[in-house]
């Protein structure tokens, strides 16, 4: 009996989750600790840290771009982005990290929608899993 293929939305969610994990792992030191880009809180990559999106993940061309996702503590990623000044702090971080023009391009094109193919998503998932394995081995988890 053939295995049922995952739906495109399930593949996209899997790719998004893997990318968010990868971003936290890449930002981690050799002990697995990473810093929130909006409040400087430090925690283990898998304890209270999330992959916070600069531009909402939705269907935009930036949804699976690593430049759009960085470690954020749960407080900043949720309540802080919606009701406090964390969005402004994130913007400053992005401009310092990538430059004003790059960030402005992200903001100018944030409404552009991209339809990802099954091949694109499966390729991303494979790549993310390989990188995650490398970084997990690096920090010993």
pLDDT digits (tens, 9 = 90+) for 55-92: 988 778 898 999 999 999 999 998 777 667 888 999 99
Contact 94, 103 (CB under 8 A): yes
Comparing 28-32, 76-80, 118-122, 132-136, the range with the smallest average pLDDT is: 76-80
Could you give the 3-state DSSP secondary structure of residue 59?
Answer: coil
CA distances from 130 to 52, 98, 99, 139 (A): 21, 25, 29, 15
Domain residue limits, the chain: 21-118
* Arithmetic mean of pLDDT, 28-43: 96
Tally Cβ neighbours within 10 Å of residue 30.
8
Is this structure's pTM higher than 0.85? yes
The answer to whether 23 touches 39, Cβ cutoff 8 Å, is no
């Amino acid at each position: 009996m053939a295995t049922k293929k995952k739906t495109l939305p399930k593949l996209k969610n899997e790719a998004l989750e893997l990318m968010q994990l990868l971003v936290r792992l890449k930002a981690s030191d050799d002990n697995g600790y990473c810093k929130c880009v909006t409040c400087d809180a430090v925690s283990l990559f898998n304890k209270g840290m999330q992959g916070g999106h600069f531009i909402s993940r939705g269907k935009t061309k930036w949804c699976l771009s690593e430049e759009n996702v960085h470690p954020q503590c749960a407080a900043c990623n949720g309540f802080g982005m919606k009701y406090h000044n964390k969005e402004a702090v994130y913007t400053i971080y992005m401009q310092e990290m990538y430059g004003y023009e790059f960030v402005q391009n992200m903001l100018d094109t944030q409404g552009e929608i991209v339809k990802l193919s099954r091949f694109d998503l499966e390729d991303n998932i494979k790549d993310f899993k390989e990188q995650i394995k490398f970084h997990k081995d690096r920090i010993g988890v």
